[in-house]
C-alpha cells in the first residue's frame, strides 16, 4: 500500500462569526498539500448541521448532512484538528462532532494545529488527546501552535507565518507514518473496538 493513497480530513473546530479558524486551516492545508502524501478534505464545522442532543431524533434533512460528514470521516486515514482554545478547552461544536461519530476514529492517527491567546491552544489539545484515546485513536505527539493568533493575521486575513512550516512538516511526517502503519494493519486485520 503506498502513502499516496492516504486521505487526510482537516477539521475546522470553530464556527463563530469572525473566527480565525479558516485562516489557520487555509495555511495548514497549503502545507499538507505541499507535503505531497495526503489527499486533503476540509471538514468545516460551520457547514455541518448536527443536532446538539444525541437522543434527539433529527428530521430527514440533518440526517442527510450527518451521513455525509460521517462518510467523509469514515473514508479518512488520518485527521488534523484545527482547534482554538475556549475557556481552557476545545469548542462545543467539535465535541458534538466527535460524540456523533464513533467508528471513523478507530485505529487512526489524529494530529493537532492549535491556536489561541497565551496558551496557543495547547490546553485544548491536551484535553482532545483524552477524548480521542476513548475513541481508539492515536494522537500524534508533535503539534503546531499559534500563540496570540490575532497578531499573526495579515490585513488580508491570512496567516503570516514562516516559523511554523518546520513543525508542520514534522507533524505531517509522523502523521503519515501512523496513517500508513494503521491503514496496513486495518487491512490485515479489521480493528475490533
Ligand atoms: C469564548 C472564548 C473563550 C476563550 N478562551 C480562551 C482561553 O481560555 N485561552 C486562550 O488562550 N484564548 C482564549 N480565547 C481566545 C481564542 O482562543 C482566540 O480568540 C481564537 O482566535 C478563537 O478561535 P476562533 O477565532 O477560530 O473562534 C477565547 C475566545 C473565546 C471566543
Q: Is the CB of 161 under 6 A from ligand 1?
A: no
CA gap 94, 85 in Å, rounded? 11
CA gap 132, 36 in Å, rounded? 26
Q: Is the CB of 86 under 6 A from ligand 1?
A: yes
Q: State the pLDDT at residue 80.
A: 98
Q: Is the CB of 117 under 6 A from ligand 1?
A: yes
- Determine whether domain 3-188 maps to CATH 2.30.110.10: no
Distance 38 CA to ligand 1 centre (A): 29
CA atoms within 13 A on the CB side of 3: 14
Q: State the pLDDT at residue 60.
A: 47
- Inter-CA distances, 15 with 93, 100, 103, 112, Å: 8, 17, 24, 17
- Domain boundaries in the chain? 3-188
Q: State the pLDDT at residue 170.
A: 98
Contact 139, 112 (CB under 8 A): yes
**Of residues 138, 146, 147, the one with CA closest to residue 168:** 146
3-class secondary-structure state, position 108? coil
Mutate to test the pocket of ligand 1, among 117, 123, 150 (most ligand atoms within 8 A of CB): 117
Q: State the pLDDT at residue 34.
A: 96
Q: State the pLDDT at residue 5.
A: 82
pLDDT 10s per residue in the chain (193 long)?
A: 455 589 999 999 999 999 999 999 999 999 999 999 999 999 999 998 888 877 655 554 544 555 589 999 999 999 999 999 999 999 999 999 999 999 999 999 999 999 999 999 999 999 999 999 999 999 999 999 999 999 999 999 999 877 899 999 999 999 999 999 999 999 999 999 9
Contact 116, 149 (CB under 8 A): yes
Q: State the pLDDT at residue 1.
A: 44
Amino acid at each position: 500500500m503506498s502513502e499516496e493513497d492516504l486521505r487526510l480530513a482537516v477539521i475546522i473546530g470553530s464556527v463563530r462569526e469572525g473566527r480565525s479558524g479558516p485562516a489557520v486551516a487555509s495555511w495548514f492545508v497549503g502545507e499538507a498539500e505541499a507535503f505531497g502524501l495526503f489527499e486533503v478534505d476540509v471538514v468545516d464545522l460551520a457547514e455541518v448541521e448536527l443536532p446538539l442532543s444525541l437522543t434527539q431524533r433529527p428530521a430527514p434533512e440533518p440526517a442527510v448532512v450527518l451521513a455525509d460528514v460521517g462518510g467523509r470521516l469514515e473514508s479518512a486515514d488520518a485527521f488534523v484538528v484545527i482547534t482554538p482554545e475556549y475557556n481552557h478547552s476545545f469548542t462545543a461544536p467539535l465535541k458534538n462532532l466527535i460524540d456523533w461519530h464513533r467508528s471513523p476514529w478507530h485505529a487512526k492517527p489524529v494530529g493537532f494545529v492549535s491556536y489561541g491567546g497565551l496558551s496557543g491552544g495547547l490546553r485544548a489539545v491536551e484535553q482532545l488527546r483524552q477524548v480521542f484515546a476513548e475513541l481508539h485513536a492515536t494522537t500524534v505527539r508533535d503539534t503546531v501552535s499559534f500563540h496570540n493568533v490575532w497578531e499573526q493575521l495579515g490585513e488580508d486575513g491570512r496567516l503570516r507565518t514562516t516559523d511554523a512550516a518546520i513543525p508542520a512538516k514534522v507533524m505531517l511526517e509522523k502523521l503519515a507514518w501512523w496513517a500508513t502503519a494503521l491503514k496496513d494493519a486495518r487491512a490485515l486485520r479489521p480493528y475490533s473496538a
